Amino acid sequence: MPVLEVTDLTKSYVSPEGERNIIVNVPRFVLEDGQQVALRGPSGSGKTTLLHLIAGILQPDSGEVRIADAPFSLLPEAMRDRARATLLGYVFQTFNLLQGYTALENVMLGMLFGPGIHRGHAEELLVRVGLKDRLNYRPRQLSVGQQQRVAVARALANHPKLVLADEPTGNLDQKNAKEALTLIREVCREQRAALLLVSHDPAVLGQFEKVQDLTAINQTGGKDVLVIGH
Ligand code: ADP
Ligand code: MG
């Protein structure tokens, strides 16, 4: 069963000059349960916009996003927020941790809108990502590599079906980047979550067996949509 089904998804922005630019135009994109796929695209090609649309952070102009067979993008906002918390995990390039809270609290806060707060599970995840001795540290007391590990633990906190990762290693040095990527892939596999990662970095993309070019699925700029099957 597909964990993610994107159909006829479009999003345009109006530029400061008043021009409407189509940024996302994806006729069809499907991710199977448990699959790990990397989307390759240069800076400005719409990777973040596409992930925001999939996560329901942005509303599409048209089209549909189904997650685990639920019409995610068509849900009313409150239901979508709740569904997002239980179905999706999101790993940001800039981590997006809450600075006033500890590592453990950041992961537990991620559980707030999900199935419920389980301190034990939050601790287990942090131990799994190698932060056994850092549970009570705040983000600024952690290295950037450790901060991203907290973000990975938080993304998995509610047993999501799908993890979205937006250039998750873009702010890490080479060694930390490699370790973080291996960790994300292993933890997603262990927790049976599919992984959709976007990146422009050949070193990151090279670690995936399945890499797709964003340009192959995203046909921006055109009004006549050409459907590419998968
Ligand atoms: P990527 O993540 O691949 O670097 P983005 O999805 O962030 O690309 O951006 C794709 C394009 O959309 C860029 O050209 C950017 O300038 C444009 N864009 C993004 N957000 C907005 C916005 N709120 N208003 C206008 N243009 C935007
Ligand atoms: Mg981006």
60 CB under 6 A from ligand 1?
no
More confident residue, 221 or 10: 10
Strands annotated E in 33-148:
36-40, 62-67, 88-91
**Confidence (pLDDT) at 113:** 85
For the residues 85-101, what does the mean pLDDT come to?
A: 95
**Confidence (pLDDT) at 42:** 93
User: Cβ-count burial of 201 within 10 angstroms (0-12 exposed, 13-18 middle, 19+ buried)?
Assistant: middle
46 CB under 6 A from ligand 1?
yes
Q: Which of 33, 36, 38 is nearest to 3 (CA)?
A: 33
Query: What is the C-alpha to C-alpha distance for residues 67 and 86, in angstroms, rounded to an integer?
Result: 11
For the residues 28-54, what does the mean pLDDT come to?
A: 96
Which pTM does this prediction carry? Answer: 0.93
Mean pLDDT of the chain: 92
With 80 as the cut, is the pLDDT of residue 230 above it?
A: no
23 CB under 6 A from ligand 1?
yes
Helices assigned H by DSSP within 134-192: 144-155, 174-190
The neighbour count for residue 26, using CB atoms within 10 Å, is 25
The alpha-carbon radius of gyration of the chain (Å, integer) is 17
Q: Which of 204, 88, 205, 98 is nearest to 150 (CA)?
A: 98
Which residue's C-alpha comes closest to atom 19 of ligand 1? 49
